[in-house]
Amino acid sequence: MENIKIIKATINDLKNLQQISRETFAETFSSEHNNENMNKYMEKSFSAEKLGSELHNGDSEFYFAVLEGKVIGYLKLNSGQSQTEIKDEKALEIERIYVLEEYHGKKVGQLLYAKAIDTAMQMFADYVWLGVWEENPRAISFYKKNGFVEFDQHSFMFGDDKQTDIMMKKQL
């Protein structure tokens, strides 16, 4: 998979971002959640208005993993006041790393993760942090393998279902 390119998404990529966001989220979570909660979450989180506003936000960045012209995964990073929990100027949040199922195990997530760490180093961040759903063992294992440790947790509503994210961070 050495032909994968990591490119920064711009407002011109809104449709591609919306498509990859919805597709990867559905692949990852639809088997564990009912359709009503999935649809509510995706309408709220991946609407053209919401993603467009995030693409225009200087403290949020999106990157695509592209193979032969096809977007196969993406990364969302937040700094400054755009971070979802911790608003630490010396931190970078990885809000999302998602890869199409057919490309799991092919190092695409690792390439996106490397981009996140490069970005954090360029901004002289002290640490990188994220929240990961407690019932997503694949993601938890990925982050632990990359040196992240658990430091807290928080609850969130997924439709009408209360869920818990494990908060993890890695010192740089």
Q: Which residues are catalytic?
A: 143
Q: Name the residue with tokens 């920064």.
A: 8
147 torsion bin: left (phi>0), alpha (psi -120 to 50), beta (else): left
Question: Of 99, 71, 67, whose CA–CA distance to 14 is shortest?
Answer: 71
Helices (H), 3-47: 14-29, 35-45
Q: How far apart are alpha carbons 110 and 3 in whole angstroms?
A: 14
* 84, 95 Cβ separation under 8 angstroms: yes
Q: Name the residue with tokens 């982050």.
A: 143
